[in-house]
Amino acid sequence: MAQGVTYGLVAALAIEVAIGKRGHAEDRAGALQSLADKPGGRFLLGAIAVGLGGYAFWKLTQAALGERLESGKDVGVLKRIGYAGAGVIYAALCVVCVSLVVNADQPAAGGGGGGQEEHRATRIALEQPFGRYLVIAVGLGIIGAGIGNVYLALTQKFRKELKEGQMGSNERGWYTLLGIVGYVARGVVFALIGVFLVRAAWDYDPKEAVGLDGALEKLVQAPYGPFLLGLTAAGLVAFGLFCLVQARYREV
């Protein structure tokens, strides 16, 4: 549920950008920051923090033990690295939430940074021995994750993890549609992030690196940008709703 809420917040703010009611897109940390000022915001952030912490713990445990927790099968090293990366990302978002709950009137670390965190991390990586090749490898990995999301959408393999037997035919139709649209949108955003990360390493320019907010901003700058951003944001809304379906029906 927490994962779905974070994507839904980002998508809602991106839609405001697309229709001209907001100046710039936000990443998930920035979206959580915007929630802090709303009535009941601290309570919601506290609940989201619990969910994000649980999700981070689950992903890190999968990285350590493989998928034997669920299917009895093991997974390869690359997939474990992916689980570990997701665990670290969601742990960081949990920290952002906790920081906002404790002190909602001040920006949380990493919240609404306008891409500065991505620039700083990329610059540090590029300064290391073989750092350029490491950044390219990470960028290609993120592109691969984007392609993997589109593959899941087109093949509908995401359905294997859900308890379809407990759903009615109408429910199956709706969640399948949400999954397809949501995974395609998520794949497009991941691919954009990866492409600009590879470009940053190739040009040796950390400012080329972007996060989720930066990828959405790139869509605004393209021909028919507001339309493309609105379409992608609608897809991220679909993914957020699909996450809520998973919270109810996923096999764990």
157-197 confidence digits (pLDDT tens) = 988 888 888 888 888 889 999 999 999 999 999 999 889 88
**129/231 same-domain check:** yes
Same domain, 102 and 139: no
Out of 48-57, 70-79, 111-120, least confident range: 111-120
Q: What is the DSSP letter of 128?
A: S
pLDDT digits (tens, 9 = 90+) for 219-237: 878 787 788 888 999 999 9
Sign for the CA dihedral angle at 223, 229, 231, 236 comes to positive
* Position 51 confidence tier, pLDDT thresholds 50, 70, 90: very high
In a domain, 193, yes or no: yes
Res 147: pLDDT: 94
49: in domain: yes
Instruction: Report how far apart, in Å, the C-alpha atoms of 138 and of each of 66, 90, 193 are.
Output: 21, 18, 10
Residue 134 lies in a domain: yes
For residue 159, tell me if it sits in a domain. Answer: yes
User: Do 32 and 85 share a domain, yes or no?
Assistant: yes
- Rounded to whole angstroms, the Cα distance separating 29 from 111 reads 5
Q: Examine the domain organization and report whether 85 and 120 are in the same domain.
A: no
Specify whether 120 is located in the same domain as 239: yes
Q: Does any domain span residue 10?
A: no
Residue 39 has pLDDT above 90, yes or no: no
Domain finish residue from 112, 137, 172: 112
Q: Which residues contact 171 (CB under 8 A, 6 or more apart)?
A: none
In a domain? residue 19: no
Which one, of 108, 77, 104, lies nearest residue 92 by Cα?
108
Whole-angstrom distance, CA of residue 63 vs CA of residue 75: 9
First to last CA, the chain: 14
Indicate if 92 and 119 belong to the same structural domain: no
Instruction: Give the range of the structural domain holding residue 57, as residue numbers without chain letter.
Output: 28-112
Question: Is the domain of 66 the same as that of 169?
Answer: no
Number of domains the chain is built from: 2
What is the structure's pLDDT at 112? 46
Burial 102-118 (b: 16+ CB within 10 A, else e): eebeebbebbbbbbebb
CB of 110 closer than 8 Å to CB of 150: no
Does the residue 13 lie in any domain? no
Same domain, 230 and 197: yes
pTM to 2 decimals?
Answer: 0.82
Residue type, 188: V
Please check whether residue 2 lies inside any domain of the structure: no
Residue finishing a domain among 112, 129, 163: 112
Which pLDDT value is given to residue 244?
Answer: 92
Do 141 and 203 lie in one domain? The reply is: yes
Our CA angle for 64, 160, 52, nearest 5°, is 45
CB 188 within 8 A of CB 170: no
Same domain, 155 and 246: yes
Q: Examine the fold and report which residue of 112, 144, 173 is the final residue of a domain before the chain moves on.
A: 112
pLDDT of residue 109: 47
Is 132 found in the same domain as 118? yes
Residues 217 and 139 reside in one and the same domain: yes
